[in-house]
Amino acid sequence: MRQMLSAEFEANLVAWGREYGGGRYEDIGYPSRSTIATLVEFHGFRPDAQTAKLCVKLDSPADEIEAAVLRLQTSGIDGEADAHCLRVAYDSSIATERDRLRRLHAIGRRIENSVMRSIARQRFYERLRRAKEAVRSFCERGRLQAA
């Protein structure tokens, strides 16, 4: 199977950044209300509930990239830093390079990742390149296994 073209892969990363970046999925986790209270109010699950979204098989290029980034993020302290560099780089709500580095340092402090707390500009781009390579190879392996 052909290797994913660079322009195609970059377009998929931009689409992933629009879909998963910018705060759309940050608040998924512990609900502020109990499940029972929600069930009573809506006589079942809310129509726009995250539960329904999580039960659907997802297979868009953005979903494939998110799966690869999540795998990278759980592969140790360096993988976590690489994954967050990729997330910050493709978050369209962050306008400047300086703001991207600040956000990365803030995330590093919040999750207690000592590597991320001190990433400088050059290291940011090295980690970004490494993250892109890891995500590309993960996506290509997935396509080869599916074929």
Examine residue 37 and state whether it is found in any structural domain, yes or no. Answer: no
Examine residue 76 and state whether it is found in any structural domain, yes or no. Answer: yes
- Sort 36 into a burial class: Cβ within 10 Å, 0-12 / 13-18 / 19+: exposed
Closest CA to 89 of 113, 81, 29, 24: 81
- Could you list the residue range(s) of the whole structural domain that residue 78 is in? 9-22+58-146
Examine residue 32 and state whether it is found in any structural domain, yes or no. Answer: no
Examine residue 2 and state whether it is found in any structural domain, yes or no. Answer: no
What share of the chain in percent tops pLDDT 90?
40
Examine residue 1 and state whether it is found in any structural domain, yes or no. Answer: no
Domain count of the fold of the chain: 1
Examine residue 27 and state whether it is found in any structural domain, yes or no. Answer: no
CA–CA distances in Å: residue 104 to residues 20, 49, 71, 87, 125: 16, 30, 19, 9, 12
Examine residue 140 and state whether it is found in any structural domain, yes or no. Answer: yes
Q: What are 11-34's pLDDT values in tens digits?
A: 999 989 888 875 554 444 444 455
pLDDT of residue 36: 62
Q: What are 81-133's pLDDT values in tens digits?
A: 999 999 999 998 888 999 999 999 999 998 888 888 889 999 999 999 999 99
Residue 81 · residue 120 · CB < 8 Å: no
Please tell me the pTM assigned to this model.
0.71
pLDDT of residue 59: 72
Average pLDDT, the chain: 79
Residue 100 · residue 88 · CB < 8 Å: yes
